[in-house]
Amino acid sequence: MSPTRKVALVTGAATGIGRACALRFAVQGLAVVVNYSRSETEARETLAAVERLGVPAILCQANVSDDAAVRTMVARCREELGGLDVLVNNAGTTHFIDHADLEAVTLEVWDDIFAVNVRGPFQTIRAAVPLLRERRGSIVNVTSVAGIQGQGSSIPYAASKAALNTMTKSFARSLAPEIRVNAVAPGPVKTRWLQGRDAMIDRYVELAPLKRAADPDDIADAVVFLALGQSLMTGQILVVDGGRTM
């Protein structure tokens, strides 16, 4: 591999937004680390699609809530691809619980969501900082308008994305000037998460000026822009939701 080729690590890259980001970086000529937690079949499909675009790629199974697994994954970026230029924290989880059903929000639900959506990005950033600093790289966190509006699939999910929004700003301050840190906050995205929840999407879209939900490619556009498209944005939460939250 060329020593000058940039490298992107995308967590949760098996499907949806993560897959779209992995492919978009490959089109830009970056080597790609395809991370997944459980969806190995889909992750291998992403890997094959990236490789068909003619760039180096590796597959890496790691649950981002497992710090040791995260550190091993980041070490592979250096050992197998030479370093790291872009980290996309896309891996996430949720539980669909009506916001009025407070008794359904158990301690296990809180711990499950926050382990992946908050602690996971923290651990991945912490492990990746030495590599990113070497190349003056960038980080993009995939959050959600749920973290701005307090709506979404459940109260803990909205709280976790609000925490990630705040953490984006904290890291932007602490890692500057060598590393830029931004976030993309989508509204509803047509992925397998929302399969069978058409009524929820329709209610959201009805109030959005652009009258449609996002495709994964819409979010990948914003992620790649923040990662590669310019150099003077940091600490920003870029909302991509058809205008619903303006």
* Tokens read off for 80: 């197998």
Radius of gyration of the chain (CA): 17
Could you tell me how far CA 209 lies from the centroid of its own chain? 25
What one-character DSSP code corresponds to residue 4? T
| Residue 157 appears among annotated catalytic residues | yes
Distance CA 180, CA 119 (A): 20
Burial class of residue 196 in the structure, from the number of CB atoms within 10 Å of its CB (0-12 exposed, 13-18 middle, 19+ buried): exposed
Do the beta carbons of residue 137 and residue 179 sit within 8 Å?
A: yes
Q: Residue type at 95?
A: H
Distance CA 207, CA 69 (A): 42
* Tokens read off for 29: 């000529």
Catalytic entry in 157, 162, 183, 234: 157
- Looking at the annotation, which residues are catalytic? 157
